[in-house]
Structure 1
Amino acid sequence: MQASPKLIFGYWDIRGLGQSIRYLLEYLNVPYEEIQYIYGGAPDFSKAAWFSVKHTLGFDLPNIPYIIDDGFQLTESHAIYRYLANKYQPELLGKTIQDKAAVDMFMSFVQDIRDGSSVYCYDTGDLDGLQKFGWEKFAQVAKFLTGKEGFIAGGLSIADFILFEHIEMFQYFLSQGDKGESLIALYPVLGDYHKRFANLEGIKEYLESDRCIKKYFCGKRAILNNN
């Protein structure tokens, strides 16, 4: 693949692991071209769109999401977050050593939320179990954010882009079923945080645009999803 003056971002045609990177690119106002690989529908849920080219693009560790920046090729989500922050706005990594540690801690914590939810979304389809898991995890997030007027590490950081998408995801899943509960209503601190992030310049415009992908939170084969 030839180098392009625009950064190239590649991922499935879903939200998934790519949505937080989209938020970051939009916030940083980085000109980019997105290549969306079509994730097939039922019953086959074909991944051929990606797997047919996966080993032809020259990546050291072929995977998606990926970016290609003036010929530099990079995969793995957390590496992409850090690369973009280092290049365009290093303070998004945290300003002090303590802030940087808090960012790393929270990124790992939110990744645990994602990994833990996958069992319910893909394997069991247990909505009650997913909701219970979500309440437990976000009670900890709400406690952590209580008393903070800004973001996770005081100032905005790459961890906030990931957390916002997970609040979006669980706000949807917790509203399903008989109870129809609202994560951001039950925890006003999360509601304030969600609103604060959604109104950031670049994010607000993206969320309101036709380019913002509304679904799917998980791969299309997931039992629990925003179909």
Structure 2
Amino acid sequence: MPADSQIHVEVIRSAVAAEETAKVCRRPGATLGYWAIRGLGSPLRLLLHYLQVDFVDRRYVQGDYDAEVPYSRDAWLSEKHKLGLDFPNLPYWIENGNDERGRERRVRLTETLPIMRYLCRRYGERAERTDAAKAFRLGVDDAQVDMLANVSMDVRHAMSRCFYSSQNEQQAVHAYQEGIVPKLVLLESYCRRHQVAVRDEQAPPRPFLAGTQVSYVDLFLAETLDQLQACIPNALDAFPHLSQLRSHVWNLERVQQFLASELYIASPANNRVAFLGSSSQLPPPSKLPSLQLPRETVDGAHQAVAQSYRIGEG
């Protein structure tokens, strides 16, 4: 981030008084609200860092199993319906200020992808260095990028079902096989057909999903895949193109800066109520920090990928 960029992290651990919530609604500048985890918040934090946007990162903490109210969400619920949001949810984006003509600007948004698209439209051009990148604005006007973003969100939803709905290792492995693998296969096959992130000196360089320019979906998907790997370390073993795409994004200078900043949360990926990848102090087997897939499960994913390659080449 530039030296003059201003990021402030607020950690909310308990119910919030109404007057404090009112201040959040009125204060100048921008506020991102989400849980104090990676989840859907980390792709937004990454994008905001990439775009060099000043904002307050408001993080809500979920209680643990041994709290007076187990897994309490009071920190968030106490102000959920008091922030002026049309569809109250996390993440949210609140922005108060003036536009280029001095007119009042008041933005209240929820849902991850609409927030990402708004940020790219508003800040994408100023953050880039080349004319081509300025015109591209991280792909916000590209229908192909939007399609890939929605498919990538399907991966995120499948991950959430695996992490939060599973109650034991067997259920988590099944959720990976039946929910996550089919979504990853679709993206892996797309990358192969379009030569995305290939290791071939004879092929034209296409390091990112939309070509040579990084898009908001590259940031979203790379962070999502990294969370998947943090929770299931061998989850991407059968997906070479997606693994390479994640590496391409992770090696970008601004992404490296993000990973070294206070905005980046290495762990936990999920809230304490989750079976997999949370910071809950409830010991295994009730909660697992991570899960290693059986060899036969990884082999099955390899077979699904190979079949998709054959179909794509047929």
**TM-score range for the pair, normalised by the shorter chain length:** 0.7 to 0.9
Question: Is 2:147 the counterpart of 1:105?
Answer: yes
- Cα gap change, 1:26/1:205 in structure 2, threshold over 3 Å: closer, same or farther? same
Return the letter of the residue paired with 1:30.
V
What is the TM-score normalised by the length of structure 1? 0.85
1:83 to 118, 135, 141: 118
Return the letter of the residue paired with 2:111.
E
CA contact (8 A) 1:93 1:157 kept: yes
- C-alpha displacement at 1:4, in angstroms? 1.6
Return the letter of the residue paired with 1:66.
Y
Question: Is 2:244 the counterpart of 1:192?
Answer: yes
Question: 3-state DSSP class of the match of 1:16?
Answer: coil
**Residue segments in structure 2 that go unaligned for 5+ positions in a row:** 1-24, 97-105, 126-135, 197-205, 280-314
2:265 to 213, 218, 221: 213
- Cα gap change, 1:124/1:53 in structure 2, threshold over 3 Å: closer, same or farther? same
Cα distance in 2 for partners of 1:69, 1:201 equals: 27
Q: Which moved more, 1:116-125 or 1:106-115?
A: 116-125
- C-alpha displacement at 1:118, in angstroms? 2.6
- C-alpha displacement at 1:14, in angstroms? 0.8
- Cα gap change, 1:18/1:102 in structure 2, threshold over 3 Å: closer, same or farther? same
CA contact (8 A) 2:231 2:269 kept: no
- Cα gap change, 1:93/1:123 in structure 2, threshold over 3 Å: closer, same or farther? same
Q: 4+ residue stretches of structure 1 with deviation over 3 A?
A: 133-136, 185-188
- C-alpha displacement at 1:52, in angstroms? 0.6
CA contact (8 A) 2:50 2:255 kept: yes
Q: Deviations over 1:77-134 (max 9, x none)?
A: 12111110110116245377xxx22212212212222222333222223221133243
- C-alpha displacement at 1:27, in angstroms? 0.5
Aligned equivalent of 2:228 = 170
**Residue segments in structure 1 that go unaligned for 5+ positions in a row:** 176-180
Cα distance in 1 for partners of 2:64, 2:92 equals: 23
Over the matched positions of the two proteins, sequence identity in percent amounts to 31
Cα distance in 2 for partners of 1:144, 1:58 equals: 40
Return the letter of the residue paired with 1:20.
P
Question: Is 2:36 the counterpart of 1:13?
Answer: yes
CA contact (8 A) 1:65 1:75 kept: yes
- C-alpha displacement at 1:67, in angstroms? 1.3
- C-alpha displacement at 1:192, in angstroms? 2.3
Q: Which moved more, 1:185-194 or 1:148-157?
A: 185-194
CA contact (8 A) 1:29 1:202 kept: no
1:202 to 232, 239, 254: 254
- C-alpha displacement at 1:72, in angstroms? 2.1
1:52 to 78, 93, 100: 78
CA contact (8 A) 1:131 1:173 kept: no
- Cα gap change, 1:163/1:131 in structure 2, threshold over 3 Å: closer, same or farther? same
Larger Rg: 2
Q: Which moved more, 1:19-28 or 1:71-80?
A: 71-80
Q: Deviations over 1:14-58 (max 9, x none)?
A: 111111101100100111111111111124111100111112222
Aligned-residue CA RMSD (Å)? 2.1
- C-alpha displacement at 1:225, in angstroms? 1.7
Cα distance in 2 for partners of 1:191, 1:115 equals: 19
Aligned equivalent of 2:172 = 127
- C-alpha displacement at 1:186, in angstroms? 4.2
Higher RCO (C-alpha under 8 Å, 6+ residues apart)? 1
